Amino acid sequence: MKEVVVKERDYRRADEAVKRAEELIRRGYQEKQVIRSVKKYLKGLKIPFSARDAYVAARLRIRGKEKFGKLSSKLFFDESGYRYSTPSVVAEYRAERLKDYEVADVSCGAGMQLCYFGFRRRAIGVEIEEKRAYLAALNILATESEATVYCGDAFNFKGGADVIFSDPARPESEVVRTLKSLQPNPLKIIERFNSMFVFELPPQMPPKRVDSSFPVKGEKEYTSLDFRLNRLAFYTGEIAECDTSAVSLPSKERVTSEDEKARIEKVKELELDTIAEVDRTITHSGLLENLAGKLGIEAYLLTLDTRRTLLQVKDIVPSAFLKYYNVLFSEKCGEACKKRLKEVNVGKVTLRFNVRPEEYWRVRRKFEEGLKGDRHVYMFKIGESYVVCEPAR
């Protein structure tokens, strides 16, 4: 296992090449033209970084502003490293939670999470693929992080750390997400090292499957990013604070299995004027009643499925895990619904019920046909009824 070192001179040349490539891409130049133009910046480079690597990194800097914010203009990625890299807001949250510990990231990829660990205290990264290890080293220089990267097999790492962190590679798709397909395998990591662990797991894994997969107990933390299930982290040892938790980013609102539960009864008919859509992160983690108890809301369950959960509520209590809507009307007949849409001056309808992706715009146009108003509404389906709402202000 060798330390990956990038000299300042090589870093500057690589960065100049990416910046030039970005400039040319924005001006409309094609890939071959860009690659040909930036080769001169990389002559004599002592690291595995080609003109095509610079082209790819430039494209990803352009694309990455939403994912990485102000850091996006500095970073180095390949396509796979970018796809599976941790968004800045998540990486910052994870690093803050582990700020009191020395961390070794034994599957660091292009180093995004590693950089954030290194913003708080010295951190170590291990990456088995040489080119990606060099990307991580470039990112450490670019962000001025206090981290060191080694290239090699995670199981050969002999350094000491309070916490072994791993965000293992996984197949793009699986029928059922399990630990078997993750590389490096978390179970083998636990066998190899004597420390506390944090594993990033496929967020589709429900709590019971996580519990049955690991020989050690820990906290299952489901992370929502902008109201969408984004991450699942498994913490062991003293880092674990409860059995199951959910955190919403960027607000950092948190609900845990330790929060007192409030019973939520299921009802068949909509009787109140306000409904709340529940972040799937809450239902997937099994914390719906804990959320209601923590917020102190009186809520009744209207629908619950793998895609969408709706509650009817008496009062609006602000929460990053809930989106509130005021009910305008409900109709069981589609034609009657279209008539009412015209009467209340609607111009745009967003469908919030299950429709096959290839059918979405056909169904939406059917409801929007002939509408000339200026109101934007959201249409849910509760039982057999179309329920038309506006976001609660």
Cis amide bond preceding 250, omega within 30: yes
- Residue 170's pLDDT band (boundaries 50, 70, 90)? confident
pLDDT tens track for 255-295:
999 999 999 999 988 888 999 999 999 999 999 999 999 99
The confidence score (pLDDT) of residue 98 equals 97
For residues 244 and 256, the answer to whether their CB atoms sit within 8 Å is yes
pLDDT tens track for 124-150:
999 999 999 999 999 999 999 999 999
Which residues have CB under 8 Å from 9's CB, separation 6+?
Answer: none
The confidence score (pLDDT) of residue 272 equals 83
The confidence score (pLDDT) of residue 319 equals 98
Domains assigned to the chain = 259-393 (3.30.2130)
Backbone angles phi, psi at 91, to 5 degrees: -60, -40
The confidence score (pLDDT) of residue 180 equals 84
Question: Would you call 74 helix, strand, or coil by DSSP?
Answer: coil
Q: 10 Å Cβ neighbour count for 160?
A: 11
* Residue with tokens 């094609």, as numbered in its chain: 30
Q: What percent of the chain has pLDDT over 70?
A: 99
pLDDT mean over 307-331: 95
For residues 64 and 123, the answer to whether their CB atoms sit within 8 Å is no
The confidence score (pLDDT) of residue 307 equals 84
Of 161 and 173, the structure prediction assigns the larger pLDDT to 161
- Residue 383's pLDDT band (boundaries 50, 70, 90)? confident
The confidence score (pLDDT) of residue 20 equals 97
For residues 143 and 81, the answer to whether their CB atoms sit within 8 Å is no
The confidence score (pLDDT) of residue 1 equals 86
pLDDT mean over 317-341: 95
pLDDT tens track for 29-49:
999 999 999 999 999 999 999
In the predicted structure, residue 171 carries a pLDDT above the cut 80: no
pLDDT mean over 360-368: 95
The confidence score (pLDDT) of residue 304 equals 86
Q: Which spans in 214-256 are helix H?
A: none
- Residue 334's pLDDT band (boundaries 50, 70, 90)? confident
Q: What percent of the chain has pLDDT over 90?
A: 89
pLDDT tens track for 190-248:
999 989 999 999 999 999 999 999 999 999 999 999 999 999 999 999 999 999 999 99
**Average pLDDT, rounded, for the chain:** 94
